[in-house]
């Protein structure tokens, strides 16, 4: 392991860990959530599909009962 400053007696920076880069841009976060299939987005899509299917079935039932 290389140490940034090693003068033979003291190893300065031996425990240094660079900070992790965290994306805070809203557009980049939205793009990443689309690309990596974010579980929150998948869950929302699942329930929206269920709601859409329920609404279509309800309308078909109303039309069928009306005739």
Instruction: Write phi, then psi, for 48 (nearest 5 degrees).
Output: -65, -40
- Listed in sequence order, the residues at least 6 apart from 11 whose beta carbon sits closer than 8 Å to its beta carbon are 3, 5
Interval 2-18 mean pLDDT: 73
Residue 64 has pLDDT above 60, yes or no: yes
Residues 6+ apart with CB under 8 A from 16: 4
Does the pLDDT value for residue 56 go beyond 90? yes
18-54, pLDDT tens digit by residue? Answer: 888 777 888 888 888 778 877 777 788 888 999 999 9
Angle between helices 39-66 and 26-35 (to 10 degrees): 70
Ordered by start, the domain boundaries in the chain are 38-67
Phi, psi of 6 (to 5 degrees): -125, 105
In this prediction the pTM is 0.43
């Amino acid at each position: 392991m290389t140490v940034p400053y090693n003068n033979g007696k003291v190893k300065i920076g031996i425990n240094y860990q660079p900070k992790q880069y965290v994306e805070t841009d809203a557009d980049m976060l939205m793009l990443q959530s689309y690309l990596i299939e974010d579980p929150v987005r998948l869950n929302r899509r699942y329930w929206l599909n269920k709601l859409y299917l329920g609404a279509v079935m309800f309308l078909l039932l109303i039309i069928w009962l009306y005739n």
